[in-house]
Amino acid sequence: MLHELLLAFLGHTGDIFQIVPPSQSADKNGGIQQHPGTIQLAPDIPLAEEAEKYRLNQLAAIGYDYLQLELFVDREQDMVFSSLGSEGEQLAKHLSVYRRAFATGVEEVLRTYRAAVLRLEQEIVRTPGCTPMPLTKVQLILSDFFIILPQLHSLVRELLSRKLCGGALLQHLYDRATNGIPVLQSCIQRILWHCNQVWYKQLIAWMIHGVLPSQNNEFLIVRSSANSAASAASSAADADSTLEWHTGEPHPPKVPVTATRP
């Protein structure tokens, strides 16, 4: 049973542990009650004690959070690779470099989790005799991830439902990092570090080289709409000088910018 539980920790299900997809039902007040997805024991698995079944379901649920986080990371990576293809120009317009950085941070957490599951498996194999490892010890070894992964899954759902990107994503991560759980705080701060690398590079590009990131207007400085009309009416020479004002041209830029909070 422990080996099947280890597989469930990594989102691999079968005859013993099965995925229960999200569902909804009507509550007694006439409203809609949402039931999140999870991984649970198959209903036809005989167990001597109900408490053991409850504990196994409680432990295996983390595998569903891991699976959804892995799918999110894979989707973000697939979008990056697809943007390099024939239809890459259209797809690139919908890419968010901040979400890509966020996915990189999540993948770093998942790698740490996979390594912890591997160490747990090695310890189970090295356990002498036929006495199985207690479930309480399994929970203790992965205790940090029983806090981290459900919260990261919730964070990803918020990111997708609210379509957070740019400064809004950074601000949301700052807010979520302010909590009283040290292990969760350090995890979100690490993901925030990845997103801040994008922010710092965009800031350096603007302040030192005068280059505005053009992708999805995720930077806090954007070109004003008034400048777009002026640029369209300007001559080719003026347009070239406008685009290259940051290279050391003596005249001030002809492209006004508007500082906005994304």
The tens digit of pLDDT for each residue in 131-163 reads: 788 899 999 999 999 999 999 999 999 999 998
pLDDT at 144: 96
Secondary structure tally for the chain: helices H, strands E: 10, 6
pLDDT at 207: 83
| Per-residue confidence band for 102, with pLDDT thresholds at 50, 70 and 90 | very high
Mean pLDDT of the chain: 79
pLDDT at 149: 96
Residue 175 — φ and ψ, nearest 5°? -65, -40
Measured in whole angstroms, how far is the alpha carbon of residue 57 from the centre of its chain? 25
CB 101 within 8 A of CB 200: no
What mean pLDDT do residues 107-121 have? 96
Q: What angle do CA 70, 75, 78 make, to 5 degrees?
A: 125
Beta strands in the chain (DSSP E): 17-20, 23-26, 32-35, 38-41, 221-223, 257-259
CB 231 within 8 A of CB 255: yes
Give me the torsion for CA of 172, 64, 71, 122, rounded to 10°. Answer: 110
pLDDT at 244: 41
Residue 255 has pLDDT above 60, yes or no: no
pLDDT at 7: 94
What mean pLDDT do residues 213-217 have? 66
Of the ranges 169-173, 216-220, 252-256, the best mean pLDDT one: 169-173
Residue 191 has pLDDT above 90, yes or no: yes
CB 43 within 8 A of CB 50: no
3-state secondary structure of 255: coil
Q: Give the residue among 64, 46, 52, 60 at the shortest CA–CA distance from 17.
A: 60
| Per-residue confidence band for 85, with pLDDT thresholds at 50, 70 and 90 | low
Residue 241 has pLDDT above 70, yes or no: no
Q: Which H or E run contains 76? A: helix 50-82
Count of Cβ atoms closer than 10 Å to residue 218 Cβ: 23
pLDDT: which is higher, 70 or 238: 70
Q: Residue 260 and residue 214: Cα distance in Å, rounded?
A: 15
| Per-residue confidence band for 247, with pLDDT thresholds at 50, 70 and 90 | very low
